[in-house]
Structure 1
Amino acid sequence: MEWIIIGLFSLSAILFILSFFKQEPYKELEKQIENMSIQMMQEIYYLKKKTKLLEEEFIIEAERIEPGAQTAGRAPYTVTRDVVLSMYEEGYSIEDIAVMTEKDTGHIEDLLAN
């Protein structure tokens, strides 16, 4: 009877020690979910940034097609550096960008210089 109790205690001690070395499956799952969450947030940020840029280009393109046609109640359009830079990289000259955005060439050059 004593040998059985000693054997059970030793078995429980061994199992207790082994439980510290066993990897938890939830830790790996938690890391995967966290990585996926970060990746999704990065993609959402990229898509929002791209959408904003496309909307700004669409507004500029619409103003270029119909120059001077502004709807009543719409605020004046402010030109951002990203829009000017993307237009410049597409091959538009500084004068063309100034005409399309209804800004002077000095303002466009300042935006490109920064």
Structure 2
Amino acid sequence: MVEMMIIVLFSCSFLLFILSFIKKDRTVELEQQIEELSIRHMQELYKLKKRVDELESQTRLNEQQSAFVQKAKSSSQQQLLREVIGLFNQDLELESIAEETGLTVIEVERLLRPYITELQEKEEL
């Protein structure tokens, strides 16, 4: 009887031992899922930081533009200057800006010259 119990216990332990190798390990699967989530989180964080940098750059540019425009004398002149500077910041050619605003290329250059000089001075600092 005792011998039979020992044989049954050994056989059960042997079966369980074999089952432990056959059965999938869920921790490996969970670790992979956590790693994937971590990578996705880092990618999203990178995208957000990049977007924040772009917005900060745009804000600085708008502040510089706003300060420069405030130096203009009349409100119509300020509005025209805002429009010209906005088009310039969109990397349009001077000819395109002149067509959009109805000015000549020389007038556009004259309006932008102080703004460009001010930008260059700030970049040098």
TM-score normalized by the length of structure 2: 0.53
The runs of 5 or more residues in structure 1 that have no matched partner are 70-86, 104-114
How many residues are treated as equivalent by the alignment?
A: 82
Q: Report the Cα distance in structure 2 between the residues aligned to 1:49 and 1:36, rounded to whole angstroms.
A: 20
Look at both structures and tell me which one has the larger radius of gyration over its CA atoms. Answer: 2
Q: For the structure 1 residues 47 and 31, does the alpha-carbon distance in structure 2 shift closer, same or farther, using more than 3 Å as the test?
A: same
Structure 1 segments (4+ residues) deviating >3 Å: none
What is residue 120 of structure 2 aligned with on the other side? none
5+ residue gaps, structure 2:
71-88, 98-111, 118-125
Structure with the largest fraction of helix: 2
Show the 5 A alignment for 1:52-91.
52-67=53-68, 88=90
Q: 2:24 is paired with a residue of what secondary structure?
A: coil
2:4 aligned residue? 3
Residue by residue over 1:16-42, the C-alpha shift from the partner in whole angstroms, topping out at 9 and shown as x without a partner, is: 010112223322222221111111111
CA RMSD of aligned residues (A): 2.8
